[in-house]
Amino acid sequence: ELKVEQNPLFLSMQEGKNYTIYCNYSTTSDRLYWYRQDPGKSLESLFVLLSNGAVKQEGRLMASLDTKARLSTLHITAAVHDLSATYFCAVDMEQGAQKLVFGQGTRLTINP
Amino acid sequence: NAGVMQNPRHLVRRRGQEARLRCSPMKGHSHVYWYRQLPEEGLKFMVYLQKENIIDESGMPKERFSAEFPKEGPSILRIQQVVRGDSAAYFCASSPQGTLSPLHFGNGTRLTVT
């Protein structure tokens, strides 16, 4: 059974600081997604990582994938308050089927 | 281009009643997925449908839950004889056929069973 684990689950940080969220998964997969969810809202797609060594950046967020280590990271640079949200990683259970297994989520709070 | 539309946004049902959740996928999308999110947890896959066809329902409870995606009209997730443990946010997502692009999620239906 595919398991996806994120850490930390809660993260409170000051504006301007850098931090990394980790996502480990238990079985082979070559497709990993990062989503953002604001309270009471839907999920917004941030990144799709499709191959080993993939790195994608958008603004202050950068995601990477190491399929050999079964690890993805989401790095936040010089955090700003607007990035406060819950971040989920998700892995495809079956290639191409979009049956996703989600991590528990990391609730990120950025304090001014 | 409207996104994935779900309704109602909030639904309150008493134990034993039926809940019907609707989802209209994005225009041009032929695949629909339903996920459930319990409080403080990630989403869990329930069912994957194409028009008039259930592709995979391995995540759906065997009893009381059913889903359909008819030729015309929205996809429906139906929960019969609801219990308190069914209280959750139910998200629908859609994607075009044969694509690597991420799922587009609706705003969800928050079901509360009293």
CB-closest option in A42, A44, A93 to B91: A42
Q: What is the distance in angstroms between the Cα of B14 and the nearest Cα belonging to chain A? A: 22
Of residues A38 and B42, more confidence is placed in: A38
For residue A96, the model assigns a pLDDT of 65
Residues in chain A within 8 Å Cβ distance of B56: 97, 99
Q: Read out DSSP for B17-53? A: --EEEEEEPPTT--EEEEEEE-TTS-EEEEEEEETTE
For residue B1, the model assigns a pLDDT of 54
**Per-residue model confidence as pLDDT tens for chain A (112 residues):** 889 999 999 999 999 999 999 999 998 877 899 999 998 888 999 999 988 888 999 999 999 999 899 999 999 999 999 999 999 999 987 766 788 999 999 999 999 8
B43-85 pLDDT, tens digit per residue, is: 999 999 998 999 999 999 999 999 999 999 999 999 999 999 9
Chain A: which residues have CB within 8 Å of chain B?
A: 4, 31, 33, 35, 41-45, 48, 50, 88, 90, 93, 96-105
User: Is there a contact between B108 and A4 if contact means CB atoms under 8 Å apart?
Assistant: no
Contact present, A111 and A16 (Cβ < 8 Å)? no
A29-47 pLDDT, tens digit per residue, is: 778 999 999 988 889 999 9
User: Is there a contact between A104 and B42 if contact means CB atoms under 8 Å apart?
Assistant: yes
Cβ burial of A30 (10 Å; 0-12, 13-18, 19+) is: middle
User: Is there a contact between A99 and B43 if contact means CB atoms under 8 Å apart?
Assistant: no
**Bridge pairing between strands A10-14 and A106-111:** parallel
**Could you tell me which residues come within 8 angstroms of residue B56 by beta carbon, excluding any fewer than 6 positions away?**
A97, A99, B47, B48
What DSSP character marks residue A104?
A: -
- Say yes or no to pLDDT of B100 above 80: no
